[in-house]
Copies of this chain bind each other. A is one copy, B any other.
Amino acid sequence: LTQKYSHKVLKRFLYYRQCLIKFQRQGFRKVFSYSLGEEAGVTAEQVRKDFSLFSIKGSRRGGYDIDYLLDSINDIFKQNSERLVILVGMGNIGQALINYQGFKENKIIIIAGFDLDPSKCLKRFAIPVYPPDRIPEIVIKSGVKTAIIAVPEISGQEICDLLVSAGIKAILNFSPILLKVPEDVIVNYVNLRNELETLFFYI
């Protein structure tokens, strides 16, 4: 539950960052909680509460300094260091992710891909692609702690187990199954079909 709560807060912080970058481009140096809240679609109270969680301070009269806010948010997400990821599954989604601009712009580096299909390992991609049995070796050598799973449903849990036993602590899962992981491993889920399908309920 604590984890889930944090997850929502964290997503808001990422959204605040986006809004702050926009304000910065418009030439602003300071921002009040109500302006940031309005832009981000939350209340001013929420903004202040979120910032105080991480001891980020502003002044009642002058607001928050935008540079300081951005630095603080980048610290939370360790953006000031290199952020390494491995990717398992070189299908449509996997291939889209290795070229995804949103990762590149944010110093997120996919260092290697893995696929069960040997022909994928021979094909030329922007990153090296290996068979999954090389996961332990590469995780240990690189010290990577984060992985993306983009394999079909049927191999999702097997790949997850392999990643966890190799030392992976955080997983972004595109495979449409609920993964069973130890308590010290965190999983974020993206289920594209479900996101689209809930829309059909409303129309």
Contact = CB atoms under 8 A, between A and B. Distances in A.
Interface string A176-198: 11100000001010111111111
Most buried by B among A40, A77, A171, A202: A202
Interface in A139-196: 145-146, 148, 152, 169-172, 176-178, 186, 188, 190-196
B83 A200 contact: yes
A122 interface: no
Interface string A95-132: 11101111100101000000000000000000000000
Given A169-B202, A190-B190, A196 B108 contact: yes
Contacts of A201: 6, 10, 76-78
Interface residues of A, number: 54
A102 to B, nearest CB: 4
A37 B85 CA distance: 33
A100 B190 contact: no
A95 B92 contact: yes
Most buried by B among A78, A93, A103, A194: A194
Contact of A200 (B148, B170, B176, B196): B170
Given A106-B197, A172-B196, 14 more contacts: A7-B198, A77-B198, A77-B201, A92-B101, A102-B193, A103-B192, A108-B197, A146-B203, A169-B202, A170-B199, A170-B202, A170-B203, A172-B195, A172-B199
